[in-house]
Structure 1
Amino acid sequence: MEKLIKNFLKLTCVGLSLISCGGPNTKSKDSKLSYVDTRVGTAASIADITVTEVEEPMGYVSPIVGYPSALTHWTPQTAEWTKRVITVPVPYWYDQDKIQGFRGTRYPNGAVVGDWGAMCVMPMIGKVRIDADARASKFSHDNEIAKPHYYSVLLDDYAIKAEYTAAAKTAFFQFTFPESSSSTVLIDGVYVPGNYRVIPERNEIEGYSVIAGHFKNYFVAKFNKSFKVYNVDLLPNVVDATLVPDGFKAEYFNNDKLEGEPDVVVTHTELNYDWLKEPVEGVVADFFSVRYSGAFVARYSGEHTFELTTKDGTRMYFDDALVIDEWKYRATGTNVYKVNLKKGEKYKIRIEYYDGSSTTEMHLRCAEPIKINPDLASQLALKGADGNAVYVTFITKEQEEVMMKVGTSLIDLSQARANMNEEFPDFDFERAVAKSADVWDNELNKIQVEGGEDDKAIFYTALTKCFVNPRNLNENGKYFSPFDFKVHEGEMYTDLSIWDTFRSLHPLWVILKPDETTNIINGMLNAYKEGGWLPKWPNPWYRSIMMGTHADAVIADAYVKGIRGFDTDLAFKAMLKNATEKGNRGFSGRVGIEYFNALGYVPADVFGFYGEPVARTLEFSYDDYCIAQMAKALGEKNKYEEFMQRSKRYMNVLDKETGLVRGKKKNGDWLAPYDKSISVWAQGSDHDTEVYYKNHTLLVPHDIPGLANFMGGQDKLEAYLDDFFANNMYYVGDEFSMHAPYMYNFISAPWKTQKTVREMLAKYFFNDVGGLPGNDDCGQVSSWYVFGAMGFYPACPGDPIYQLCSPVFDKVSMNVGEGKIFTIIANNNSKDNMYIQSATLNGKPYNKSWLYHKDLVNGGELVFELGPKPNKDWGLTQ
């Protein structure tokens, strides 16, 4: 083995810096890809981050490969699940030293939700190991290249070089094997089983896994080499009446804690269900709990293997002993328990399930200790069989390259094959890598920056993350709708972290990708037509998570900035529905909207803790402001006036006694100051709670003068902000107060915005694996950096205005479409020279601390003169 590794290292590019190690078709130094390291954010932040006990300063990103907004991205998988502060199925963690395979992922990069429709590919030699941990290979980051168009690594335990590129729907792998009579490539469904069929005469595997019981993730894998062996690791049988003769007594509770008496009691003959909404009549669709109990009768003596596939929280007891205790976060997983049983004996089995939001899955299977025909698996593989995994084995020579293309689809197998043939029609790996590199270079060249090399690396890596999501479901003009489970023509996007991304990611796309912004809005309207509501956090269907209905903000911001090409009447109708009706059909909408409209706020004694009542009141008010701006642009004067009045309702949760937001009961009484039940995020220490309150009080981007008036005037708000930043209360990794550094521009102190933004960019963002200051949330944190580094920020989406700050770069040139370039020049720029002394716009003196969108997209030149001391007179013109 040592000899194999030494020989292999001669062919492997070794080095910590990705810039010096480019893989095939290494791009020239002027390529923006030379600056990008997609591993940034895969480790805990190295900065001094303000974060509560219930969160962790993790980017939650992976080294993604694939086109921007790809249907399927690909990433190394170091873990199926990782138990951190929040248990999430992020595929890759920098601090882990083994790779389990290479995942085709639909995990929204940087978010805290589920990875839907995942699959994993793993090469190995020797004995075939199905289990992800058992097959995992050691690797070194020194032998790793991580770019958005290409990934490469040496799997030390197998002496296999694995490298791949990917387009929108297809991955292209090249595995360099050592000499072996048993070189294998295995495919599994990560968390769930699949159905697999091997077609040896075509060197193909085809299959699918079921997504929440409602649609399928199809794939076709094609190799350039014939198979010696092929097999499916067959799935155990569902535990049914043959093993639990009396069935499972199911006690359902309309709470998620098994509290009180059960609301519904029924008997199930088996636990093999996928529920899109409520499991049985009389049970709520979300946040319920259930206890299943039955008597398992063994038909054979020997080791039995139980496989339990569920979502959210699960406990399994066998003869009253706790054997599975798994808490997942908004995603599906499979747990295994093995036990020796005696034939004819009865054993008590009990499963407790705690449901979160969205769909529910519950599958219990058992592999009994019986001999199986050793040829059965390969025979069934030719017909298609349910299994945990499928694998094919080859005989390979020393350093033999085996190539594999994997086409994916949500429509059907024929579409997966068509996607594969369209995107990578041959087995020319280097040409495939070059094609993907060109796509990414085109994206990154939308912005040219001049400045320090390290700053460029941070910037272009962040810009890369701004283009990973949302996910485009379009397949040759069609898409499978996760809202009505039918195939339609047109546009559909999902993995839209809208609660986060309306703030700066979508405004960045308005500038850089106006046509695709139109497509995204049309996708939202298609979701409205197919599911009844605009999406607020689709993953891939409606998710009942987060507050507000910020599709309102995305649409309004795009429209007031000139984005067209969508049905504005339908959009406005959908926005009004958000503001007036309770959610249904699996969509939560604005939770508490009936109280918001009746009382002017969301009451804390009705919607406490999970309900985020104060945050909802603030965010509903902002969404109403956006609806007002849309109404104004459409000439709907009455609606404009109505919703501008509604946008002031945030005042109803501002408390004069504390000077902060505060929960208010239905009867009008306040909660105790700093009451922790106000939010799940206000838990932890008293300091954590204070941080929550201080950040939330600033969640009024649409009416900063009104907030200042509440506090006693501009001077009082300025003092609040000074104390807020000086005492490290600002949590840059969360979104509630992302606009806060720019609030100084509104209160005649723009020099403090310049200072604060520059200091934060330097303090929190690094060209390092720990270089992100919190969950990237589908590019929101990265886009916050991109805007700040360029020198402006959309502090209030819905207004066609950007707040100016001090650019990190000496020169920024943005391609704003139609051949126009907007350039920002910072003369005398340095770390010390962070203050704007004067400015010109297109050669004329400019004394405003903000910029109209029309001035930006018309092209032109904004020049700053910078210096070491603030010019407190600049930027005061209104």
Structure 2
Amino acid sequence: MTYCFKKGLTLGALALGCFSCQDPSPKGEGATDEGPLPQKDYLGYVDTRVGTAASIADITVTEVEEPMGYVSPIVGKPSALTHWTPQTAKWTERVITVPVPYWYDQEKIQGFRGTRYPNGAVVGDWGAMSLMPMTGKVAIDAEERASKFSHASEVAKPHYYSVQLDDYDIKAEFTAGAKTAFFQFTYPESGSSSVIFDGVYVPGHYKVIPEKNEIEGYTVIAGHFKNYFVARFDKKFESYDVDMLPKVVDASLVPEGFEATYFNNDKLEGEPAVRKHYSQLDYEWLKAPVEGVKDDFFSARYTGTLIAKHSGEHTFTLTTDDGTRMYIDDKLVIDQWKYRAAGTETYTMDLTEGRSYKIRIEYYDGSGATSMQFRCSEPVEMDPGLGAKMALKGVDAHAVYVTFSTADKEKVRMKVATSLIDLAQARANMEEEFPDFDFDKAVAKSAEVWEKELNMIQVEGKEDDKAIFYTALTKCFVNPRNLNEDGRYFSPFDFEVHEGQMYTDLSLWDTFRSLHPLWVLVKPEESKDVINGMLNAYQQGGWLPKWPNPWYRSIMMGTHADAVIADAYVKGIRGFDADLAMEAMLKNANQKGDRGFSGRVGIDYFNEIGYVPAEVFGFYGEPVARTLEFSYDDYCIAQMAKALGKDDVYATYMERSKRYINVLDKETGLVRGKKANGEWLPPFDKSISVWAQGTAHDTELYYRNHTLLVPHDIPGLADFMGGKDGLIAYLDHFFENDMYYVGDEFSMHAPYIYNSLGAPWKTQKVVRDMLAKYFFNDVGGLPGNDDCGQVSSWYVFGAMGFYPALPGDPVYQLCSPIFDKVKMNVGQGKVFRVIARNNSKENAYIQSATFNGKPYNLSYIHHDAVVGGGELVLEMGPEPNKAWGVSDQ
């Protein structure tokens, strides 16, 4: 059975032929040559706290997730090297524990964090630092120094944040560029005003330079590179000090050292793979700690006997990545057995001189670097002036602080520049971005940057809708993170400084779907830079990244750099080495990862038997998801090959893209795990994924959402469902029974499938309803993890009236815009317009359309028509016009 579906390149010249008939060129009737849009003021609509609380919508979500945006009210230029945000917590106990800096339901602010946490994601914050203004006695611990505040005193914009710290009567304000933050603290009258700096999760190296009113230093990132910073004040220091680190536990306390046993699993199970002896636990490795141990998901146990030299209070400090537990005489005293980024835990107890104590430390590595520092502070009287003396020399410490006297309402200004290259570059970054101490000018400069970003798309409609839209658009430009510093960057893939481009914090599993396609439209030059950064990672590390944070992270499924590159290329983005890109994409598709990088896990089985077997890659292995996503990635490779004239590669990978059918089960009508011998797992088997855990309903949700993860072959999926009507019935049941998991990405394209089945009015209704049901101008206004702007970009496209349902194909599916007018600056002086006449909440259906003044009866639009600067006019009404948008299907 054959159907004609609304597609672009996948139907050869059909799309281009149709557009030729309807004259979509910018010179058609109704088109204009208007230049860049005149700038309007949109920052007033934005509140970056949206998404910092649990969703206020009735969200379909499984027990293993929580409808949280996982975003923070960050400040800084788009794609900044370092963003800044208020920090209410280091960690918060949620369904998924992650180091999100800010949670709306917290009552205190611990400081202001220079963060590289990928906004809205569930990964680590790398190279973080924090600072806090105070009065009175300096408190080192973040919770002890935290101040109460009121949300009513907050102003949260992408260029500016301010808040009143009630416990200290300090007004804190800051703005930020790409690499430098600029703070202004308004103090009360005090003889002991101060600012403290720390590394949030890890110790740092700090030096005070009083003659320059400066502090400089760095924290170490996974033992392989450093986050450098320079802080400069406009006020003289009256005193300064550091909180010294305890001594590393060595033979003086543990005479016989530590015995280590390593296991090639993350649960300390079975026989050890390697045994090793250490005199002290003080190491940082990028991957495996010893030969014979896996790079990721290994575990270790360290045991030793400590003999106390003094009686009295001892404080143990344990810094590790990922999960850690510590026992003293078999008593559990530190319990952080969970996936996390680098963190420091402490435990204090009284010891008796000469007595022996059994020490046992357990550790598991999830994905990424490995670190272990075990220190002990003994009850020995210290020279009270030692900290200040060491601060002048530079010393490793928990924290550094400076103090001074202030008059009532006195403003103290401070700039903090960061760099991954060195201290000299940090100073250069400061001079480039904020060369003086004019705070108001700095705020205005940052506001101008963001207004220019937001003005790339201008919308007309209800005020509340504009607030949701521009707040969402702001989140679309936070990540990926640009590591460029004056034309150079420190590469997290080979630990060298290079010239050129490098981006990280690319949540590619999420953002290939609509975030990167949005950038292709409004940021084509930077889209090119992002791809060049990926290719630099390939040349320096051997692989295209799949979720760099900042180096390779072997998380999520598929290798969706393939999708980002192919989508950009078929839409006309040039300026990168396309042949090198194809080489890298083909490597993903045919070789197992190495050097600690897991690309397409199970690719050898996929290429041998046509799917990823369930019993080999079970729980956490996502075997069914991998099969579906590898198939889609192969489709993207095929489109890239076709555009490059590589017809043989195109044919091969289009055939490979059909392998998804091997995990679709006729008995259940859904995806299903399959063993290597062809035997199916039981229906709704929970081992299919960690996300399928929880209730039976949770499991069914996973299966039903994932079954739709075939955006590249809707005809094939329809055939599996028994025909076009069968897939429509599936979708109707899916949406009517609230099974759509809008906060996750598996089926984000699902509402747009109706367009490809000849029922575009259903797409119009479903999308319009979802935009209204799930997104709000409220701190609980996001329906799930924003995932570096993916959920926000899904909203932005839907609100404008079109969506890239199939990245890799230069076609956008049309839906029902919520705005009366949309103007998108698509570059080269051209503006694409979508005008919805008679638009209202009730009038959600497209009755008819014109493009550049001529009748238009397609439910999709080609990329060339959009970037050509055309005008799409939609007549809206309260009832579906089932004759519109179904021609030429």
Q: TM over 0.5: same fold?
A: yes
User: Is the contact between residue 86 and residue 329 of structure 1 (CA under 8 Å) also seen in structure 2?
Assistant: no
Task: Pick from 525, 534, 541 the counterpart of residue 535 of structure 2.
Answer: 525
Question: How far apart in 1 are the matches of 2:39 and 2:56?
Answer: 28
Question: Cα distance, 1:242 vs. partner?
Answer: 1.3
Q: Secondary structure at the match of 1:329?
A: coil
Question: How far apart in 2 are the matches of 1:95 and 1:327?
Answer: 25
1:323 aligns with 2:333: yes
Question: Pairwise mapping of residues 772-791 of structure 1 onto structure 2 (< 5 A)?
Answer: 772-791=782-801
Task: Pick from 281, 293, 296 the counterpart of residue 303 of structure 2.
Answer: 293
Question: How far apart in 2 are the matches of 1:551 and 1:320?
Answer: 47
1:740 aligns with 2:727: no
What is the match of residue 872 of structure 1? Answer: 882
What is the match of residue 106 of structure 1? Answer: 116
Question: How far apart in 2 are the matches of 1:299 and 1:563?
Answer: 67
Instruction: Please tell me the residue identity of whatever aligns with 2:796.
Output: V
1:484 aligns with 2:532: no
What is the match of residue 714 of structure 2? Answer: 704
Question: How far apart in 2 are the matches of 1:48 and 1:55?
Answer: 14
Q: Secondary structure at the match of 1:435?
A: helix
1:30-71 CA-partner distances (Å, limit 9, x unpaired): 510000000000000000001111100000000010000000
Instruction: Please tell me the residue identity of whatever aligns with 1:129.
Output: A
1:507-558 CA-partner distances (Å, limit 9, x unpaired): 0000000000000000000000000000010000000100000000000000
Q: Which runs of 4+ in 1 moved over 4 A?
A: none
Question: Pairwise mapping of residues 844-855 of structure 1 onto structure 2 (< 5 A)?
Answer: 844-855=854-865
What is the match of residue 44 of structure 1? Answer: 54
User: Is the contact between residue 847 and residue 877 of structure 2 (CA under 8 Å) also seen in structure 1?
Assistant: yes
What is the match of residue 358 of structure 1? Answer: 368
1:678-722 CA-partner distances (Å, limit 9, x unpaired): 111111111100000000000000001100000100101000000
Question: Pairwise mapping of residues 652-663 of structure 1 onto structure 2 (< 5 A)?
Answer: 652-663=662-673
More off after superposition, 281-290 vs 854-863 = 281-290
1:184-219 CA-partner distances (Å, limit 9, x unpaired): 000000000000000000000000000000000000
What is the match of residue 218 of structure 1? Answer: 228
User: Is the contact between residue 303 and residue 339 of structure 1 (CA under 8 Å) also seen in structure 2?
Assistant: yes
Q: Secondary structure at the match of 1:242?
A: coil
Instruction: Please tell me the residue identity of whatever aligns with 2:348.
Output: K
User: Is the contact between residue 751 and residue 871 of structure 1 (CA under 8 Å) also seen in structure 2?
Assistant: yes
Question: How far apart in 2 are the matches of 1:329 and 1:724?
Answer: 33
User: Is the contact between residue 88 and residue 328 of structure 1 (CA under 8 Å) also seen in structure 2?
Assistant: no
Question: Cα distance, 1:300 vs. partner?
Answer: 1.1
User: Is the contact between residue 621 and residue 646 of structure 1 (CA under 8 Å) also seen in structure 2?
Assistant: yes
1:649 aligns with 2:653: no
1:514 aligns with 2:524: yes
User: Is the contact between residue 544 and residue 589 of structure 1 (CA under 8 Å) also seen in structure 2?
Assistant: yes
Question: Cα distance, 1:328 vs. partner?
Answer: 4.2
Instruction: Please tell me the residue identity of whatever aligns with 1:351.
Output: I
More off after superposition, 280-289 vs 754-763 = 280-289
Question: Cα distance, 1:663 vs. partner?
Answer: 0.4
What is the match of residue 16 of structure 2? Answer: none
Question: Pairwise mapping of residues 205-284 of structure 1 onto structure 2 (< 5 A)?
Answer: 205-284=215-294
What is the match of residue 596 of structure 1? Answer: 606
Question: How far apart in 2 are the matches of 1:357 and 1:564?
Answer: 34
User: Is the contact between residue 493 and residue 551 of structure 2 (CA under 8 Å) also seen in structure 1?
Assistant: yes
CA gap 1:48/1:355 in 2 versus in 1, 3 angstroms? same
User: Is the contact between residue 701 and residue 795 of structure 1 (CA under 8 Å) also seen in structure 2?
Assistant: yes
Question: Cα distance, 1:269 vs. partner?
Answer: 1.3
Question: How far apart in 1 are the matches of 2:370 and 2:665?
Answer: 40
Question: Cα distance, 1:493 vs. partner?
Answer: 0.2
CA gap 1:839/1:833 in 2 versus in 1, 3 angstroms? same
Question: How far apart in 1 are the matches of 2:534 and 2:501?
Answer: 9
1:236-295 CA-partner distances (Å, limit 9, x unpaired): 111111111111111111111111121211111111111211111111111111111111
User: Is the contact between residue 103 and residue 118 of structure 1 (CA under 8 Å) also seen in structure 2?
Assistant: yes
Question: How far apart in 2 are the matches of 1:488 and 1:330?
Answer: 30
Which residues of structure 1 form unaligned runs of 5+? 1-27
1:141 aligns with 2:151: yes
Which residues of structure 2 form unaligned runs of 5+? 1-37
Task: Pick from 557, 566, 572 the counterpart of residue 562 of structure 1.
Answer: 572
User: Is the contact between residue 40 and residue 455 of structure 2 (CA under 8 Å) also seen in structure 1?
Assistant: no
Number of corresponding residues: 851
What is the match of residue 19 of structure 1? Answer: none
What is the match of residue 87 of structure 1? Answer: 97
Q: Secondary structure at the match of 2:339?
A: strand
1:420-476 CA-partner distances (Å, limit 9, x unpaired): 111000000000000000000000000000000000000000000000000000000
More off after superposition, 237-246 vs 383-392 = 237-246
Report the TM-score when normalising by structure 1. Answer: 0.96
Question: Pairwise mapping of residues 429-828 of structure 1 onto structure 2 (< 5 A)?
Answer: 429-828=439-838
User: Is the contact between residue 614 and residue 663 of structure 1 (CA under 8 Å) also seen in structure 2?
Assistant: yes
Question: How far apart in 2 are the matches of 1:239 and 1:810?
Answer: 67
What is the match of residue 188 of structure 1? Answer: 198
Q: Secondary structure at the match of 2:98?
A: coil
What is the match of residue 141 of structure 2? Answer: 131
User: Is the contact between residue 476 and residue 789 of structure 2 (CA under 8 Å) also seen in structure 1?
Assistant: yes
User: Is the contact between residue 112 and residue 329 of structure 1 (CA under 8 Å) also seen in structure 2?
Assistant: no
1:313 aligns with 2:313: no
Instruction: Please tell me the residue identity of whatever aligns with 2:270.
Output: G
Question: How far apart in 2 are the matches of 1:39 and 1:744?
Answer: 34
User: Is the contact between residue 262 and residue 298 of structure 2 (CA under 8 Å) also seen in structure 1?
Assistant: yes
Question: How far apart in 2 are the matches of 1:872 and 1:397?
Answer: 72
Question: Cα distance, 1:730 vs. partner?
Answer: 0.5
Question: How far apart in 2 are the matches of 1:283 and 1:687?
Answer: 39
Q: Secondary structure at the match of 1:314?
A: strand
Q: Secondary structure at the match of 1:824?
A: strand
Q: Tell me how large the CA RMSD over aligned residues is.
A: 0.9
Identity of aligned residues (%): 77
Question: How far apart in 2 are the matches of 1:327 and 1:769?
Answer: 31
Instruction: Please tell me the residue identity of whatever aligns with 2:289.
Output: P
Q: Secondary structure at the match of 1:760?
A: helix
1:222-249 CA-partner distances (Å, limit 9, x unpaired): 0000001101111111111111111111
Q: Secondary structure at the match of 2:510?
A: helix
Question: Cα distance, 1:29 vs. partner?
Answer: 12
What is the match of residue 17 of structure 1? Answer: none
What is the match of residue 401 of structure 1? Answer: 411
Task: Pick from 127, 140, 145 the counterpart of residue 117 of structure 1.
Answer: 127
User: Is the contact between residue 822 and residue 833 of structure 2 (CA under 8 Å) also seen in structure 1?
Assistant: yes
1:55 aligns with 2:70: no
Question: How far apart in 1 are the matches of 2:565 and 2:693?
Answer: 34
CA gap 1:55/1:462 in 2 versus in 1, 3 angstroms? same
Question: How far apart in 2 are the matches of 1:278 and 1:220?
Answer: 33
Higher relative contact order (CA 8 A, sep 6+): 2
Question: How far apart in 1 are the matches of 2:738 and 2:300?
Answer: 43
What is the match of residue 387 of structure 2? Answer: 377
Question: How far apart in 2 are the matches of 1:787 and 1:241?
Answer: 62
Instruction: Please tell me the residue identity of whatever aligns with 1:337.
Output: Y
Instruction: Please tell me the residue identity of whatever aligns with 1:680.
Output: V
Question: Cα distance, 1:329 vs. partner?
Answer: 3.1
Question: How far apart in 2 are the matches of 1:660 and 1:386?
Answer: 57
Question: How far apart in 1 are the matches of 2:195 and 2:107?
Answer: 21
Question: Cα distance, 1:877 vs. partner?
Answer: 2.0
